[in-house]
Structure 1
């Protein structure tokens, strides 16, 4: 089964690639790897939430936003090389805008990791970092970047 067929089976439509908010491109290929720029939880061109996790944004909401970020990152991969060329997800880096004392970054970033596992199965198992930060661009609660191996 192709990855595009798997997405259809799951009822997932990849969004349009989010427009960069600064001087960068959404994704770059070098050799057999595609690196995405950090993706925010944009839905139809609008930031889905702002605020820090553990204060204005609940961990459960942030986990859903991390999923959105992962789908936005996949959209950037798809626009560059096509999702069906993905061999495996290599690495996911998640940044969580964290309120003072919030230490649940791994659970938040699971929203992205679980989405990739749902879509890619064993090929979605990846190395990962989940990092708490003071601020993210535009006040976003979560940002996700991917490295994927492609054919």
Structure 2
């Protein structure tokens, strides 16, 4: 079935599917809400229990999730950095200001995704160019061989 499609139809199909994929990604990114995450009730690390006031109290995010610096990770001074190397500062109503471990930063993940997609687009374009160039070279060789055979009278 795919062999019977012309190059123009294949290009239109690939373009349509690429556009549909982009549309789905944009719509999904607007519909999903990644801020609602569940955290373990207590995080055990080196026999110390981290505060988990955000599970029991109302809280406000003071600093959004960001990467811990090398000193905080290597010195083990911030227990929230040990688990994921990312932390966010929250202010619980009664317990006060605490730090908790969080997943990766959303905008970094999105940036890495788009970098990957761009690289795949470039790689695909280079591959398509190589295939079409190789096909032209092979077609030219066959044409020259036919011309030589016709010229020699075979």
TM range (shorter): under 0.3
Greater share of residues in strand: 1
Name the TM-score, length of structure 2 as normaliser: 0.20
Greater share of residues in helix: 2
Name the TM-score, length of structure 1 as normaliser: 0.21
